[in-house]
Structure 1
Amino acid sequence: MTPLPPVFLDRPIAHRALHGAGRPENSRAAIRAAVAAGYGIEIDLQLSKDGQAMVFHDYALTRLTGANGPVQQRSASDLAQLTLIGGTEGVPTLAEVLHIVGGAVPLLIELKDQDGRMGPNIGVLEQAAADAVAGYDGHIAFMSFNPHSAAAMARLCPDRPRGLTTCAYTVEDYPTLPADTRDQLRGMPGLADMGASFISHHYTDLSSPIVADQKARGLHVLCWTIRSPGEEAEARRIAENVTFEGYNA
């Protein structure tokens, strides 16, 4: 297990960076704002058509750019030419974000599941992420909802902390996942294989006995996504740190 450095616990983590007016989520502007405020930063990775790790949350482009189609059907250069809604810049690569952060604050990187099944069909995005962070001196931790993805990062970047992004996996939130897959994921599989040092769990389910079990085993507990001081105060009764948006934590 690669330990999670204290810097991931001593300051709130801005969800998709410090986004707001003029600063779309996961944008360069939001990254710069989070660095200036001294917050940790959580970002998401999707894969471009030409195999680049792109800092973008959704699978489809519509909500965040107004363009049609999935991220995976556009090259990194094409994605850079789009304009994120509410901002003036295109979709950044992970390498560009690392350059902006420059080690100033910790970076929590979530790799999005690429086939919608949370299964072992992984590898290209994970390799792209590992290539991008090679030689970076700042604090990075990787996580994913897909345990196979997080385990891949353990093999590719054994010196970087890994964790599992987790939740209650209700049928309402994950209607396309089979019931047996949801049941398996709810149990937080693969923590040993990935050498996990933390979990990041949905804040409404922090009282789960499974969370308590992992905390008792010595894993750090982070949570997502807090949207008010009241939610933060409640979450911190169990979680050691919060991922937040929409207010100044």
Structure 2
Amino acid sequence: MFGNFGKIAATIGLDIIILLVVYIFLIYGDKKDTDETEWLTSTKFAHRGLYSDDGMIPENSLEAFDKAIENNYGIELDVSFTKDKKTVVFHDDNLLRMTGLNKKISDCTLEEIESLYLNGTDYKIPTFNEVLDLVDGKVPLIIEIKSNRDRYGLCNSVKNELNDYNGRFCIESFDPLIMSRIKKNMPDVIRGQLSMKFTKDNKAPKSLKVALEYLLLNFKSRPHFIAYNWIDSNNLSLRILRKLGIITVAWTVNSEKALEVSNERFDTIIFEHCEPLK
């Protein structure tokens, strides 16, 4: 009887080891030499630029990016695709919140976009090229590629516009397929997987939300860093990856409490409306 028990226990133990190995294989990223990533971990990044709480300096505007440069902060920004395949810097899928126009950005041409104003100010939605010309390598960039019905076209456009850019930058996305394309087409670029604990309001299938939340699709792109919502910093996969030496980035840090937690549990931060430790 005891001999059979020992065999069963050994089998269970082997199964657990196999599951653990598979789990690590799925979530593991990639590591570059420290001298290649030091700029990322030593920089604090202004979320959508150093925009004002009252919206008079709007998020993802040239003025917000200029303010970040003035204060020597890195910049996190979002790139989207217009109907006519032009790359612009804008966060939301819909233009309503920031411009008052209830229309998807992917349904608008660049000409339509250029007629809009951000938050009722004099600032407009910039093109990606305009932002690159403004920053011109003065501070590092985290470029988030938004998921899009033409995700691969957007990836190719970003690649082409970055070809002649000499500043430091990395690319991140919530979409593992986008990051997989970046790995294939821009293998030397530092890439990051964005994630968080997804709520019930998110309409994605539960199985996909679990896979994304626990970074189980990392095997598709082998990200160099994980950008994770600081509130969800106890995520098991995130904690394991940091122990294994994968860089972690906290978003969006916006209070003293968030700063305290993020400085302890992450390698660097993306912040807004607070003064991070330099």
Considering the TM-score relative to the shorter chain, is it more than 0.5? yes
Q: 2:250 aligns with which of 207, 223, 226?
A: 223
1:103-122 residue pairs with structure 2 within 5 A?
A: 103-115=137-149, 122=151
Q: 1:195 aligns with which of 209, 215, 222?
A: 222
* Greater Rg by CA: 2
Aligned to 2:184: 155
Aligned to 2:168: 139
Question: What do residues 145-167 of structure 1 show as CA deviations (whole Å, max 9, x unaligned)?
Answer: 01111111112222211010011
Query: Which one-letter code corresponds to 1:183 in the other structure?
Result: V
Per the TM alignment, residue 231 of structure 1 is displaced from its structure 2 partner at its CA by 1.3
Segment of structure 1 superposing worse, 195-204 or 78-87 = 78-87
Query: Which one-letter code corresponds to 1:215 in the other structure?
Result: R
TM-score for both structures, normalised by structure 1: 0.92
SS in 2 for 1:123: helix
Question: What do residues 185-216 of structure 1 show as CA deviations (whole Å, max 9, x unaligned)?
Answer: 12213324323110000011111111111112
Aligned to 2:22: none
Q: 1:68 aligns with which of 102, 109, 112?
A: 102
Query: Which one-letter code corresponds to 1:154 in the other structure?
Result: K
Aligned to 2:117: 83
8 Å CA contact retained: 1:147, 1:189: no
Per the TM alignment, residue 171 of structure 1 is displaced from its structure 2 partner at its CA by 1.6
Per the TM alignment, residue 77 of structure 1 is displaced from its structure 2 partner at its CA by 2.8
SS in 1 for 2:221: coil
Aligned to 1:186: 213
Alignment length (residue pairs):
242
- 5+ residue gaps, structure 2: 1-29
- 5+ residue gaps, structure 1: 116-120
1:129 aligns with 2:158: yes
1:234 aligns with 2:261: yes
| Structure with higher helix content | 2
Show structure 1 runs of 4+ deviating over 4 A: none
Q: RMSD of aligned C-alpha atoms?
A: 1.6
Query: Which one-letter code corresponds to 2:104 in the other structure?
Result: P
TM-score for both structures, normalised by structure 2: 0.83
8 Å CA contact retained: 1:2, 1:158: no
